[in-house]
Chain A
């Protein structure tokens, strides 16, 4: 009976192992190749490294210094941190008003936010680019902070409004009875109660900005000194073509932080990314 069951289950296990292999092996190949000497990468498949192991950090030295990815890593951090904090904070203020302050046009305003959820970034590129050019902001970090704040707001307002609206009314009313003003209620009660929702959202926004190519490419105007990792890596693909030793090392550098975040905060990452994609 047991054996029969195991045999019947065998295809299920086989299918799952196969899928996991297809999902992981390309990443392993990238990591192995990035650690092999450049001539070896060009001459033989990375899997042959099992038979002829020879590893080096030269590729990483080259991409971090000569290809400027060290600088780009810093740029990505400089772009992503404020571009995560600003929209979340402004969204939380707005979500608080939408959830707990009755006013005329509240439903209409929230409807507008829901409409804006689906607006593609492409629709805004030309006019925003002209605004930035007029203000002398193209090619600067503040341009990306401002743009990502605008683009991140609809989702953040939407999710936080729904979360705030679910907080217990008694708790908020009790605070009001104790004489707490709107600001005090918000900072002392609403925000602390919303840490899990804010954390998931922050991870979503951070990864979104970290992984963004289009917005950075459009508003930074191809200046290498401000390019984040995605832009620098895409430039390397253009200039190096099949230069796999450097490309694999570069790609891995760009993946380091997301991989670390995924490894340590997996539950929040899944929750944040699912909520972000599903908008629920």
Chain B
């Protein structure tokens, strides 16, 4: 296939589909306009909602329900096997490794991103080049985890002791400490999972810093000044006034990071493929689906991921209800 063809196809789709959708809206509005006022008000919203609802049903609602059923079936998705796939997920060695590592990601990654983002935002607030600092740490957010994986795999690169180190980390440590032996960072568990989490921190900390910076700006100046006039030191002001004011922001950032940690896939896939005991749920699910070709197991692992997000969904829903009540 020549490269011109897909480009032309995409151009046609990029221009054609919006045109079709606009034509649909105009035609449907024309039809709705002919109805009696009562039926018009009843029908109109569904005209506007229909395309989105169709996509949500086909690509999210139906597949989710189907996956739940699939998790109770065998490798080819034909026979019912009860809870066998869940037993696999909670009993087999390879799935347990993934389960524990995902838990490590949930706790360590979330804690580091929240603490790091808050720390950077609080420090940057004290200098004039705060915007530049925040831009620098935010930059990796624009990159793919695939690219970040290559960047850091190179930083972690390992050569045996005595050979010239081409990985930044081993080279720096060898130069700084006379007795340091170069390490294969991505091989030895559990340290390798921490090295992967560090990449996650590198990507996501800027996001947390941006959110915390906005929250810090919203802390009333007068309260800080009043405390300082009363003789409170910077640490005390931070611990007693700033930190409590950041509660809701911290909760929001932590929630977002929990979801991110649950779904983490690319870093692991690119940097270790889940080898050396670094596997996580999302990667195990991918491997179960495409390597082992076991639909039931893939389904069960996906359902476990979904179940882990349910508390967050309910939290979102509750927050929404609170907002609607205010409205």
**Centre residue among A22, A43, A119, A154 by max chain B CB count within 10 A:** A119
Number of contacting residues on B, CB 8 A?
A: 110
Residues of A within 8 A of B21 (CB): 89-90, 93
Chain B residues with Cβ under 8 A from A255's Cβ? Answer: 143-144, 147
Q: How far is the CA of A96 from the CA of B7 in the complex (A)?
A: 32
Q: Is the CB of B49 within 8 A of A12?
A: no
Cβ contact of A233, chosen from B56, B59, B136, B150, cutoff 8 A: B150
Closest beta carbon of chain B to A81's beta carbon, Å: 5
Chain A residues with Cβ under 8 A from B29's Cβ?
A: 181-183
- Whether A126 pairs with B70 at a CB distance below 8 angstroms is yes
A201 within 8 A of B: no
**Residue of chain B at shortest CB distance from A21:** B136
Is A189 positioned at the interface, with any CB of B under 8 Å from its CB?
Answer: no
A237/B270 contact (C-beta < 8 A), A93-B51, A150-B55 known? yes
- Mark each residue of chain A from 231 to 249: 1 if its CB lies under 8 Å from any CB of chain B, else 0: 0011001100010100110
* 9-residue interface stretch from A50-58, A107-115, A168-176, A192-200: A107-115
Contact indicator A213/B145 (Cβ below 8 Å): yes
Known contacts A90-B51, A251-B150, A269-B142; A125/B298 CB under 8 A: yes
Q: With the chains together, A225 CA to B260 CA distance in Å?
A: 30
Contact with A along B81-101 (1 / 0, CB 8 A): 000000000000000000000
Q: B64 in the interface, Cβ–Cβ < 8 Å?
A: yes
Q: Which residues of the other chain, B, contact A13 by a CB distance below 8 angstroms?
A: 127
Dominant secondary structure of chain B at its interface with chain A:
helix
Choose from B166, B168, B324 the contact partner of A26 (Cβ within 8 Å).
B168
Interchain CA distance A121-B42 in the complex, whole Å: 34
Closest to A212 in B: B144
Which of A106, A118, A127, A242 lies in contact with B70, CB distance below 8 A? A127
Asked if B142 and A123 make an inter-chain contact with CB atoms under 8 angstroms apart, the answer reads: no
- Total cross-chain contacts (CB, 8 A): 333
Q: Are B17 and A85 in contact (CB under 8 A)?
A: yes
- The interface size bin for chain A is 35 or more
User: Is A12 a contact of B144 with CB atoms below 8 Å?
Assistant: no
- For B298, give its contact among A126, A128, A149, A238 (CB under 8 Å): A126
Interface-facing stretch out of B104-112, B216-224, B237-245, B302-310: B302-310
In the complex, which residues 175-201 of chain B have their Cβ closer than 8 Å to any Cβ of chain A?
none
**Closest CB in chain A relative to B58 CB, distance in Å:** 7
- A46 CA to B164 CA, complexed, in Å: 11
Q: Chain B residues near A60 (CB, 8 Å)?
A: none
Distance between Cα atoms of A74 and B282 in the complex (Å): 28
Question: Does A134 touch B at the CB level, under 8 Å?
Answer: no
Separation of A78 and B206 alpha carbons in the complex (Å): 29
List 22 interface pairs A-B (beta carbons < 8 Å), by A numbering. A9-B127, A23-B137, A29-B155, A45-B164, A46-B166, A82-B10, A102-B41, A118-B309, A120-B263, A123-B305, A125-B302, A128-B59, A141-B9, A150-B59, A151-B60, A211-B143, A214-B266, A237-B149, A255-B147, A262-B142, A273-B138, A273-B142
User: 13 additional contacts, CB 8 Å, given A93-B49, A150-B59?
Assistant: A20-B137, A26-B154, A26-B168, A78-B9, A118-B312, A122-B282, A123-B302, A123-B306, A126-B299, A213-B270, A238-B273, A247-B150, A255-B147
